[in-house]
């Protein structure tokens, strides 16, 4: 389980405690980008009490996608066979972990979805929800994927699925990272399932999401979608070769 952190001192102890309650046997890796508020020290202290918690201290803030790639590499080098992405601000309920991990019995990537039956975003107004749903529908249409919540950052990967994704080629951050990872997994033949989750806005600390990451995601989806369509047309127009009888 990979939890990227930057200035999450107000949340890290509680989220680690609740993760340990929900998934007692899971190992947790906190990837901290040199948080000036002491997040890493609090995580290290919690690790001593809760067990099976590891800490990867990085020299500076390098972005969400970069943090996840570092965490995935750390786990792959140690032979883990399942990985979970999870926000460290308690917007993702640790109680959903058994559902996500259980889904890996039938799928290679399990996405915690706000937009399948049973999923919810109780604190969002109609306008914000419609914008999010529209963005996800656009991404699904452009990339030819039947996934309703491509931007969700609460998900579980089978270890073999992460191995087939070339992490060194993944460049996006934020929402774009989530979309790119799912798209690369699907192109590699991975099966994808969605399970419902309840998403809530953080109570403590400040959001790290910015308009730049949203624009980046939309731009990347457009580029990938155009390439997909052009590639499909190119294959359709390629000459076929046959052997005369």
- pLDDT the model gives residue 207: 53
pLDDT at 173: 87
Domain layout of the chain by residue ranges = 2-231
Residue 231: predicted pLDDT: 78
Q: Hey, what CATH topology would domain 2-231 get?
A: Spore Coat Polysaccharide Biosynthesis Protein SpsA; Chain A (3.90.550)
Conformational region of residue 38, where left means phi above 0, alpha means psi within -120 to 50, and beta covers everything else: left
Kindly give the pairing relationship between strand 155-158 and strand 109-113. Answer: antiparallel
N-to-C CA span, the chain: 59
The pTM is what? Answer: 0.88
Q: How far apart are CA 214 and CA 26, in angstroms?
A: 32
CA distances to 65, 70, 149, 214 from 133, rounded to whole Å, are 22, 29, 8, 13
Report CA 208 to chain centroid distance, whole Å: 15
Q: At what angle do helices 174-187 and 126-143 cross, to 10 degrees?
A: 30
Instruction: Quote the radius of gyration of the chain (alpha carbons, Å).
Output: 19
Chain Cα centroid distance, residue 174: 9
- Are 83 and 157 in contact by the 8 Å Cβ rule? The answer is yes
Q: Partners of 193 in the beta sheet?
A: 110
Block means of pLDDT (10 residues each) for the chain, 245 residues, are 96 97 97 97 97 96 94 97 96 96 97 97 91 93 96 97 94 90 96 97 58 79 88 56 34
What local confidence, expressed as pLDDT, does residue 241 receive?
40
């Amino acid at each position: 389980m990979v939890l990227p952190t930057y200035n999450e001192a107000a949340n890290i102890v509680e989220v680690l405690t609740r993760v340990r309650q929900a998934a007692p046997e899971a190992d947790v890796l906190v990837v901290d980008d040199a948080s000036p508020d002491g997040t890493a020290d609090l995580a290290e202290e919690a690790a001593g009490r809760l067990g099976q918690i590891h800490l990867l201290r990085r020299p500076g803030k390098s972005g969400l996608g970069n943090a996840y790639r570092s965490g995935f590499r750390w786990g792959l080098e140690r032979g883990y066979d399942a990985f979970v992405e999870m926000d460290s601000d308690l917007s993702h309920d640790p109680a959903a972990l058994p559902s996500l991990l259980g889904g890996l019995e039938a799928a290679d990537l399990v996405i915690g979805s706000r937009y399948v039956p049973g999923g919810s975003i109780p604190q969002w107004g109609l306008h914000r929800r419609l914008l999010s749903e529209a963005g996800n529908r656009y991404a699904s249409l452009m990339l030819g994927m039947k996934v309703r919540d491509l931007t969700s950052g609460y998900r579980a990967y089978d270890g073999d699925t992460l191995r087939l994704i070339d992490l060194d080629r993944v460049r996006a951050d934020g929402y774009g990272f989530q979309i790119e990872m799912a798209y690369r997994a699907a192109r590699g033949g991975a099966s994808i399932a969605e399970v419902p989750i309840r998403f809530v806005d953080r109570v403590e600390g400040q959001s790290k999401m910015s308009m730049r990451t949203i624009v980046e995601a939309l731009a990347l989806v457009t580029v990938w979608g155009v390439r997909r369509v052009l590639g499909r047309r190119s294959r359709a127009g390629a000459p076929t070769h046959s052997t005369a009888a």
